[in-house]
Structure 1
Amino acid sequence: MSGKSDVYLLLKKELSHELQVRGLSTDGTLDDLRKRFLSALDKKVKINQEIVDDFDEQEEIQLASARYSELSEAVEAMNTNDIAEMRRLKARLVHSHNRLHRQKFQDDLETKRCELVKNLYALYVVVKEATPSAVSKGLITTLVDYFCFVNCLVCALLLGEIDLLKDPMHGNPRPHVAWYRGEELLTNYTTPEGPAAESILLLNNLGRVDLRSELTCIASNNNRTLPLSSTIHVDMNCRYQSRH
């Protein structure tokens, strides 16, 4: 999830899944599940990959296909003037994408999984681009120091936040950009207007664990079969390593 506020936008079955993959109880009311998941986020309870790997592959594909159809219809009928509806759609798309993205299947089911992951992200892009932006464009002027390294990736470490900018090669059409922390799709980024395909990711209230995390930027458009990507690891001394 991209933030605690998104927890209140998920359905009960979606919250149940997020608790289940963390080895937590799924009993109780919707409010109980929200409180339990918020507590898990505060305690940084990690996803148990063994639990994820134990899901039935065929059933997961069927569920994901049904969710994709449901969300596709919701996107087609969405009211772009309803900010609450747009936020709810984005939160549910992120959950559905992350649920499938963190899994790995075999043979034809893996091909289908990858296709659904791609389609869910494409839906998310549609909703994100249709959502009115409320992000201040003066954010970049608050940065104190810049640290430059490979692939035009620029970082700045401030008190409690890190700002990442990425220009993943100019594309025609402009590339779609996705950010990940490990296997988790991040959504708190913006794409400023301009000739460059630039994306700005903001992570607030970073702690020691967060600053040792792996952050990946992936860019793709209709002209490339494989997306471009760059991954960085950030430590508390503000040293950056990049790999492709």
Structure 2
Amino acid sequence: MLSRVTTLKGTLVTWGAPMAVAIIPSAIYSYQAITSPFSDLDALQITRVIGVIVISAIALILGMRAGNLGAAASGTIGLTLAAVPNLWFRFDGVAAGQTNVELRALLVGGFVFLILAVSKQFKLTAGNSVVYVGIPTMIALAPAVLNTLDALSHPTFQAIDWWRFGIVLSVSLTLLVVGSLRELGGMFYPGFAGVLVSALPYGFKQINGAAWLLWIILLLVAATLIWLATRIEKMRKLGRTPAMWLKELK
């Protein structure tokens, strides 16, 4: 065990440091045009950004597969420095307002998941799926869930409100079902919270011209919750109480 830890730390010097020296300056240099649209960048600037991202991704993948902490760490740092800022500022040209915030939350959640995945692979942190999956998922979903609730205060629903509600509910139901079947707390808890917070308030909302669609959606949610209750009841008959089942989620 001590030998493995020493080897992992050694790769930070033999692999991580040289790769970081090669990647980081180019990533930082790309910040000179970080707020400019991609269409305004010249060939060299585009090549620099794409090159750093591709090289970092390759280093990350190879490092994860080979157990090379130095390569994985330098790849993660390169992606974080190059991809996150460049995508963050250029989302302004793709969407505006609440949608912009939601896209940025997805970006942050994705990179938090990436960092935690690397940490788990090399046993740098401890925890179950609530840490490695639950935290990134909650970061990614939080703005969309809050905006879904905020839409209830609007006198009329826009198309984007329906799209957001449908996406949030679909993702939450998927997380809830998969988390229940696989017994993964990192998927079950965000999914359950997303379903309750996004779906239940809409049951008390009077929406003209779309009540039938809303009721169909709510019936689907109710059916899913009944399925979940039935599954938990079967486990109770096998000697596992709901509290035990929740505690045993991986």
Pair in the same fold by TM > 0.5: no
Q: TM (normalized to structure 1)?
A: 0.32
Q: TM (normalized to structure 2)?
A: 0.31
Q: Larger helix proportion, structure 1 or 2?
A: 2
Q: Larger strand proportion, structure 1 or 2?
A: 1
